[in-house]
Structure 1
Amino acid sequence: MNILTFQSTEELNEAGAGIIVSLLQTKPDAVLGLATGGTPVGVYEQLVKSYKKGLVSFKKATSFNLDEYVGLPREHEQSYYTYMKENLFNHVDLPAEQIHIPDGNAPDPEAECRQYEEKLAKAKQIDLQILGLGHNGHIGFNEPDHALVSGTHVVKLQEETLRANARYFDSIEEVPKLAITMGVGMILKAKTILLIVRGEDKAKIVHEALTGPIRTELPASLLQTHPNLVVMLDNAASRYFQDQEHI
């Protein structure tokens, strides 16, 4: 585990994008696991800047998104499909046929999960998986539970997750109650995992996840088992790590 802290948001974003750019420069056909939400927006902005400067191409890459809400049309302003197009895909040369996002509006969500799992299996392995961290310790939409599902599945979102995501909707009632998410098993198969955490409100949970007992009630704690985990924290999120030697 390599834990990095950054004095400014800009430095964190540049470093995160730099890791992805370096991967694509050495392996143009890399498989990227992508996340949504507020956490990776700045990293995607830096990636777009790098692309426009001619420093990187996505033409041979493939992408798989972690998750999508169930019941939202892809064109909905809060769908993760729309998020990815607006924040990254519309601005780089990643071919549409090499982009994979679960279809949350599929008539049979369970069948969509199986098909998505088949696509992931065909890709064999994600080279770099980007992750954020939920306030309750979820990764993707894998919520705390007495057991976790390995493969892509439909999950019922917990109240804390609904409250956290309500800021993107007019009210909490509008937040979809279900989502399709990549399972923890597939996440942990990635060659490299890049966990990005920002804000003092997540300082305690990220410290607990990376230093406390490994348990399914805190899904992010399973990241401790990964052989190549890179953790990027802003100053506020690193609060409880300040006395650690590697900070």
Structure 2
Amino acid sequence: MRLTICKNYDDVSRIMAERVLTLLEKKPDLVFCLPAGNSPVGMYKELVKAYKEGKADFSSLQTFDMDEYVGLGPEDPQSFIHFMHHHFLDHVNINLDNVRYPDAMAVDLDTELRQYAKEIAHKGLDIAITGIGDDGHIAFNEPGAVQYPETHKVKLDEATRLQNAPAFGNDPEAVPEYAITTGMAEHMKTKNYFVVCSGSRKAPLLQRFFSREELDPQFPVSWLRMHPNVEFIVDEEAAALIPDDIRKKALAGEEL
């Protein structure tokens, strides 16, 4: 496990984009599990910038969306596939035949999700990036007594609906009640895993993660303690409560 502490959100975004581009250069047909939400927006801007400057080629990139709201189609401005097109896909030279996302409006959603999970297992994920939800969730793997291994439908916690309300006119009731999310086994099998965080709101979550050792299904991000290749890229505000011994190792470039 590695921890990189940056000055601010812009630096988090730049360094995360650099990690993606390094992997893409090594493997042009990189399989990328794309995140939505506020955390990766800056990274997508950096990736688009690199493409426009002739420093990146996305023509062979393969993508899977990390999650989606049940009942929202690609034309819905609040859907995550719409988000991906708006912030990234429409601005680079990706082959849209290589873009895969779950059909959140499928009549037989269970069959759709089983097929999506099979495709992920067949391709294998080279890279995934996530933030941390206010309740400790990653993707939409919410706190609970169990965690599911593969892509599945999940009922969103009220805390998550409240956190995502700004995208729905600040009305938590307008946030879909259910979502689709990639599962924990899919995350754990990803070859290169990254967590990005910025701002003081995330500080207690990182403090909890780096201060304890147990795996807690009520704190889903804790499962990443078992991941063989994970890096946290965070800014100073988010890192403010991380124990000093962990910070020192991080600043010295040491594995945690």
**TM class, shorter-length:** over 0.9
Q: 1:211 to 1:33 in 2, by over 3 A?
A: farther
Inter-partner Cα distance in structure 2 for 1:222 and 1:242: 19
1:246, CA displacement in angstroms?
2.1
Give the corresponding residue for 1:136: 135
Give the corresponding residue for 2:121: 121
After superposing on structure 2, the runs of 4+ consecutive aligned residues of structure 1 that deviate more than 4 Å are none
Give the corresponding residue for 1:231: 232
1:220, CA displacement in angstroms?
0.3
How many residue pairs match? The answer is 246
Instruction: Indicate if the aligned counterparts of 1:109 and 1:180 stay in contact, CA closer than 8 A.
Output: no
Give the corresponding residue for 2:106: 106
Inter-partner Cα distance in structure 2 for 1:79 and 1:207: 31
Question: Which has the larger displacement, 87-96 or 100-109?
Answer: 100-109
Give the corresponding residue for 1:73: 73
Inter-partner Cα distance in structure 2 for 1:146 and 1:24: 37
Instruction: Indicate if the aligned counterparts of 1:154 and 1:181 stay in contact, CA closer than 8 A.
Output: yes
1:242, CA displacement in angstroms?
5.6
Give the corresponding residue for 1:19: 19
Letter in 2 for 1:237: A
Helix, strand or coil: the match of 1:223? helix
Q: Deviations over 1:82-133 (max 9, x none)?
A: 100000000011111101111211112211111111111220x211111111
Q: Deviations over 1:200-246 (max 9, x none)?
A: 11111122124322111111000011111110011111011261322
Helix, strand or coil: the match of 1:246? helix
TM-score (norm 2): 0.93
Helix, strand or coil: the match of 1:3? strand
Letter in 2 for 1:184: M
Instruction: Indicate if the aligned counterparts of 2:211 and 2:242 stay in contact, CA closer than 8 A.
Output: no
Instruction: Indicate if the aligned counterparts of 1:137 and 1:206 stay in contact, CA closer than 8 A.
Output: no
Instruction: Indicate if the aligned counterparts of 1:3 and 1:231 stay in contact, CA closer than 8 A.
Output: yes
C-alpha RMSD of the superposition: 1.1
Inter-partner Cα distance in structure 1 for 2:95 and 2:200: 37
Question: Which has the larger displacement, 57-66 or 204-213?
Answer: 204-213
1:73, CA displacement in angstroms?
2.1
Helix, strand or coil: the match of 2:5? strand
Question: Which has the larger displacement, 175-184 or 1-10?
Answer: 1-10
Instruction: Indicate if the aligned counterparts of 1:210 and 1:223 stay in contact, CA closer than 8 A.
Output: no
Inter-partner Cα distance in structure 2 for 1:130 and 1:229: 10
Structure 1 residue runs of 5 or longer lacking an equivalent are none
Give the corresponding residue for 1:246: 249
Give the corresponding residue for 2:216: 215
TM-score (norm 1): 0.97
